[in-house]
Amino acid sequence: MKIKKYEGSTEKEAMLKVKDELGKEALIVSVKNIKPKGIYKIFRKPYVEVTAALDDRSLVQKEKASERELNQENSNLNKSLQGTPIPLGENEPFLQLLKSLSATSRSEKEQKKGEPVYESKTYDEEPSTKNPNVSEDSPLLKVVYEQLLENELDELYINQLMVGLGELSYEQSTHIDDIVSIVYKRIVKQLSDLETIKLTKGKAKTVAFVGPTGVGKTTTIAKIASYFTLNLEKKVALITADTYRIAAVEQLRTYANILNIPIKVVYSSLELKEAIDSFRDVDLILIDTAGRSHKNLEHQNELAKLLNEIEEKEVYLVLSLATKYKDLEKITDAYRDISSYKLIFTKLDETSCYGNILNIKLKTDAMLSYVTFGQNVPDDISEVNVHEIAKKILGGCE
């Protein structure tokens, strides 16, 4: 049994290919409408894929018939070639197209020869929003640029990613895959500064989680507590200073009861310090803080005072990937006085655009740590996989 897939812009076109190769005896296994994804959707339109099968006996008969037809074709071709060669003619459409493309290519190369990749300009007026590394007539770079822009990557960082690619895009041997590969490696390199929670033997690690309201701090803490308790069999304790929301306290208390780990609720920086001291025999102390508005300076000062009471700590800023970049900029600005925080991005399941991970990483120069992608505890959390994030950023939003 021979099984093969055939593609066509329409079902009829694909079926004709099946008939031409396998004949009327072919069995249609499946018909699928395929929509290209990621960066290649720009180059390819949706198409139909037909999977067909042919019995071996029918195949042998068809191959014999095809061989006879091929022999006859070759005989006819040899006869025709003995005469005068057939000219394509100046009006042949394909020849005209080839000439046109050749002329355009030569013209582009002559124009670009010796030119710098981009020019540094001083603007007296409002600067142009166009990427200085992407020429209007550089289609390969424009495709990648537009994909990154679609994925909500800031133009400043797109420019950085595409520096030096202008001349490469005009080389005859350069393919879109070459450009994508270079940009992909650059994104991976920029994302690769990672750090997750690492325990110290014989000493309690204290970790505080901060961030705006509604980003999923409490659920994220529950996931991390579950991982260290159930998977690594470590002693974990919880502290919540989120007394603004009774529901948050009860939620964390519920998780503590399920995991059979201690929890304390604190209302002041002094109580926080005492609670940490009481948990010195555990491996990991996780602290939940109240969600703070980045616009409320008083709340930010309260948080800073609270964290200052913790002598040795790690701080994780929890952000929702579903938040707009302009808002994320303002949020991170509000937390700039907190030294050496690491980044956790939540709600990856609520957006298909991943550009803000790179935006915020480059803006803050903070280390990436975890991402979450659902409400399930403890499953929907993982350490950042920079290769997967880079692929998502290059793939565009769907």
Same domain, 58 and 148: no
Identify whether residues 36 and 140 lie together within a single domain.
no
* pLDDT band, residue 167 (cuts 50/70/90): low
pLDDT > 50? residue 393: yes
List pLDDT tens digits, range 52-77.
777 656 555 555 555 555 566 555 54
Task: Report the DSSP pairing between strands 236-240 and 205-210.
Answer: unpaired
Angle between helices 11-22 and 56-81 (to 10 degrees): 90
Q: Quick one: 244 and 180 in the same domain? A: no
Instruction: Decide if 102 is inside a domain.
Output: no
Classified as helix, coil or strand, 34 is strand
**Same domain assignment for residues 149 and 221:** no
Token pair belonging to 376 = 């399930």
Which domain range does residue 152 map to? 128-191
Indicate whether 144 and 236 sit together in one domain: no
Residues 232 and 351 in one domain: yes
357: pLDDT strictly greater than 70: yes
In a domain, 371, yes or no: yes
* 213 & 332 share domain: yes
| Residue 115 is assigned to a structural domain of this protein | no
Cβ neighbours around 211 below 10 Å, total: 25
Is 29 within a domain?
A: yes
pTM: 0.66
| Residue 121 within any structural domain of the chain | no
| Strand runs labelled E in 9-121 | 27-34, 47-54
Final residue of a domain: which of 158, 191, 224?
191
Please report whether residue 151 resides in a domain: yes
**Do 263 and 344 reside in the same domain of the chain?**
yes
The letter for the amino acid at 209 is F
Q: Do 253 and 381 belong to one domain?
A: yes
Give the residue from 71, 90, 105 where a domain finishes. Answer: 71
For position 328, which CATH number holds? 3.40.50.300
Write the DSSP assignment of 286-339 as a string of letters.
EEE-----TT-HHHHHHHHHHHHT-SS-EEEEEEETTS-HHHHHHHHHHTTTST
- Same domain? For 184 and 227 the reply is no
Q: What is the signed CA dihedral for 322, 328, 334, 339, rounded to 10 degrees?
A: 90
Q: Is 117 a member of any domain? A: no
pLDDT at 358: 96
Last residue of a domain, one of 22, 45, 71: 71
Residue 284 belongs to some domain of the structure: yes
Task: Name the more confident of 352 and 71.
Answer: 352
In this structure, the answer to whether residues 262 and 154 fall within a common structural domain is: no
* Amino acid code (one letter) for 375: Q
Residues 357 and 272 occupy one common structural domain = yes
pLDDT tens, 208-266?
Answer: 999 998 899 999 999 999 999 999 999 999 999 876 677 778 888 998 999 999 999 99
pLDDT tens per residue, range 10-25: 888 888 998 888 887 7
Which strands sit side by side in the sheet containing 236-240, from one edge to the other? 263-265, 236-240, 284-288, 205-210, 314-320, 342-346, 367-372, 381-383
Read off the tokens for 261.
């780990």
Residue pointed to by tokens 């003619």: 89
Domain count, the chain: 3
